[in-house]
Amino acid sequence: MTTTLPAAQAAPGEAAAPFVRDTVRWLERAVIGLNLCPFAKGVHTKGQVHYAVTLSDDPAEVLALLRSELSALAAAPAEVRDTTLLVLPNCLQDFLDFNDFLEVAEAQLDDLELDGTLQIASFHPQFQFAGTAVDDVSNCTNRAPYPTLHLLREDSIDRAVAVFPDAEMIYERNIEVLQSLGMSGWTALDVGPTPPELPASGPSQGKV
């Protein structure tokens, strides 16, 4: 039996812009600024990161867009699009729901015959390692302003690891960096979602 997914639609540029800005700020200040991923600066500087945003709150629509973005990444030249960040500001807000969705997301790699070509990493504003407290700063290694799926090329990962001999130590180093920073230091980075703008108020009708 074949399941038909809804049409995949990314938010248009104007609607997506605030969520892309927040994600880029997180990337620049936290991921690159704290050197949590030594491989991120190069692709960001070269403009090889593609941002896709969906405003849907329906996981089925998110899954459809994920399939579309996986196919597009695989088809694009790496020097044009090396990696993709799929940002979900309105969907899978609960971390446990997001975690459950990841299993379905990973299955798309096999379904699209992209296993071994692409990988899916994930970030979530409520990310929490098993056995840690919710306010443990180590959780921030995997926290982003919005639920986010990071689509990566395995070839790019292999090349990056080849020139970074201590790649297996990145995780331990990141924990040390964040523990040194502390939760107050992380908060000071201001890498959370931007509050929505309030509508402009009209002229006052009252008397002073």
Q: What is the pLDDT of residues 28-40, one digit of tens each?
A: 999 999 999 988 9
Question: Is pLDDT above 60 for 204?
Answer: no
What confidence category does residue 205 fall into, taking pLDDT thresholds of 50, 70 and 90? very low
Write b or e for each residue in 140-167: b if 16 or more Cβ atoms lie within 10 A of its Cβ, otherwise e: bbbbbbbbbbbbbbeebbeebeeeeeee
Helix/strand/coil for 138: helix
Helix/strand/coil for 151: strand
Per-residue pLDDT tens over the stretch 50-59: 999 999 999 9
pTM (2 d.p.) = 0.90
Question: Is pLDDT above 70 for 2?
Answer: no
Least confident of 51-60, 128-137, 159-168, 180-189: 159-168
Helices 59-75 and 95-111 cross at an angle (nearest 10°) of 40
Residues in the chain: 208
Would 3 be classed as within a structural domain?
A: no
Percent of the chain with pLDDT over 70: 90
* Tokens read off for 100: 């459950």
Q: Which domain holds residue 180?
A: 13-188
Query: How many domains, in total, are found in the chain?
Result: 1
What confidence category does residue 5 fall into, taking pLDDT thresholds of 50, 70 and 90? low
Would 8 be classed as within a structural domain?
A: no
Would 151 be classed as within a structural domain?
A: yes
Would 193 be classed as within a structural domain?
A: no
Would 198 be classed as within a structural domain?
A: no
Would 205 be classed as within a structural domain?
A: no
Classify residue 93 by its DSSP letter.
-
